Structures are given as structure tokens and as C-alpha cells.
């Protein structure tokens, strides 16, 4: 039951070129900073990254993009990253843009063993191209498939040695859905406790979904856009 590994480098050791990864977070909130840095250091290439967004130029998934380690991004929003834009326009990067709710549901479906589902999001747009449609009660829906990712990499506030996780505030975002959806789930946490120390009523991700866990270090928790009011 003890799923603890020493650090991020050990946790991502069997991620190889061409693998499909889910990476938790929203903007720069709740991203697995340590694991991303370990992937950069390892230099693994041709990754397909499923994430709400692509980080910024010098942080988050942006570090992988700068290092030319990402072959394809599957995201709902990518507007904060100039290098992402350059690689997209030059044809260096494959991109699949997905409505945010559909992205979330494709994660949830994967974690629930649901192979596909129908949604109205994207009907009549480029999102619908090549996809099956059906009409229910007079309304058209697209069929979307659950994700098939080898690894899910998430960040939590607290965890225990059995892999149970608690997220803090908005850092919860995509992390619980992705944690349940990967064939192998890696969790980095700010505080790692012995099994039994977490209040079972507060656990967001049960340990059955988590395969490896470690206590991260040196979290920047950077703010993506800082807006302040002039003092008067």
C-alpha cells in the first residue's frame, strides 16, 4: 500500500518519448511543478499533453514547449503563451482545441469507464468536423470519446502514503478528474502524511486511483496575471 517515491525524477522515470500525459491545473494554479521540471530535465520528447492550458512562456507546460518536447497539445485555452503561438503557426505543434466542459467530461468519462458520451458543445462549429452526431429530443449532440492517457500527473495540497489526496481551494480544478483517468497516476503534494492522518470526510481523490506519490519542494505558485489597483 505504500506508494511513496523519493522525488519527481523517480516518479516520472518510466515516462518515455511519445507518451500521452494528462497534467492537472488551471492557468498556473494547481499545476504539478516538480514533475514538469523533472520531465524537462529528462528531455523526453514527442509528448502529447492533455491540459486545460499550455502554461506561460517560462513556466508550467511552457517549459516543455520551449524545450521542443511536446508534439501535440490537447487544451481548451492557450492564449498566454507566445511560444505556443509561434509553434502552432509554424506547423511545429499539433493542437486540438476542445470546449472546456468537454475537456473536463472526457477526463471524467475516462475515470468512470465510459468510452464515449454526447454533448451539444461544438455543434455547428469546427469542433464537430468528422464526429458522429445524434438528435435527442429535437436537439443535435456530438459524440466525444473519453481520453486514453498512459499517465495522469496531478498536484494536491495534502496526501498520505496510501495515495489519498486533498486539494486546496481553486487548485482543485482539473486535478481530481485527471487523477481518476490515467492508467498510471502520479501525485505530488505539498504535505505528505502517514496513512490515517487525513480526515476521510475531506478526501477528494481516494488512494485507489493513485499509483505514486511524493512530497514536492520549492513551489513558486506563480500568478498568471497580476492585476492591482492604484493606491489613492
Spell out the residues 6+ positions from residue 136 whose beta carbon is closer than 8 angstroms to its own.
118
pLDDT at 49: 97
Q: What is the block-wise mean pLDDT of the chain (232 residues), using blocks of 10 residues?
A: 92 97 94 97 97 90 94 89 90 94 96 96 94 97 97 98 96 96 97 96 97 94 80 74
pLDDT at 21: 97
* Cross-strand bridge partners of residue 142: 119, 133
pLDDT at 224: 76
pLDDT at 203: 97
Strands (E), 83-177: 94-97, 116-119, 133-136, 139-145, 151-160, 165-166
pLDDT at 222: 80
Spell out the residues 6+ positions from residue 41 whose beta carbon is closer than 8 angstroms to its own.
9
Q: Which domains does the chain have, with CATH numbers?
A: 8-115+147-215 (3.40.1080.10)
Amino acid at each position: 500500500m505504500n506508494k511513496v517515491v523519493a522525488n519527481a525524477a523517480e516518479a516520472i522515470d518510466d515516462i518515455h518519448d511519445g507518451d500521452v500525459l494528462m497534467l492537472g491545473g488551471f492557468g498556473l494554479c494547481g499545476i504539478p511543478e516538480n514533475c514538469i521540471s523533472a520531465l524537462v530535465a529528462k528531455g523526453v520528447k514527442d509528448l502529447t499533453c492533455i491540459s486545460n492550458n499550455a502554461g506561460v512562456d517560462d513556466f508550467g507546460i511552457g517549459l516543455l514547449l520551449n524545450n521542443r518536447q511536446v508534439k501535440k497539445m490537447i487544451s481548451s485555452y492557450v492564449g498566454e503563451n507566445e511560444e505556443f503561438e509561434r509553434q502552432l503557426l509554424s506547423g511545429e505543434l499539433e493542437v486540438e482545441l476542445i470546449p472546456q466542459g468537454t475537456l473536463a467530461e472526457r477526463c471524467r468519462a475516462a475515470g468512470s469507464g465510459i468510452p464515449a458520451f454526447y454533448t451539444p458543445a461544438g455543434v455547428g462549429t469546427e469542433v464537430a468536423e468528422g464526429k458522429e452526431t445524434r438528435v435527442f429530443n429535437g436537439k443535435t449532440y456530438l459524440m466525444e470519446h473519453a481520453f486514453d492517457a498512459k499517465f495522469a500527473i496531478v498536484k494536491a495540497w495534502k496526501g498520505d502514503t496510501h495515495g489519498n489526496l486533498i486539494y486546496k481551494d481553486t487548485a482543485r480544478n482539473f486535478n481530481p478528474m485527471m487523477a481518476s483517468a490515467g492508467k498510471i497516476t502520479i501525485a505530488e503534494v505539498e504535505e505528505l502524511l502517514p496513512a490515517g492522518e487525513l480526515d476521510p470526510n475531506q478526501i477528494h481523490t481516494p488512494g485507489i486511483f493513485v499509483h505514486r506519490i511524493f512530497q514536492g519542494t520549492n513551489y513558486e505558485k506563480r500568478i498568471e496575471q497580476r492585476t492591482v489597483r492604484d493606491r489613492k
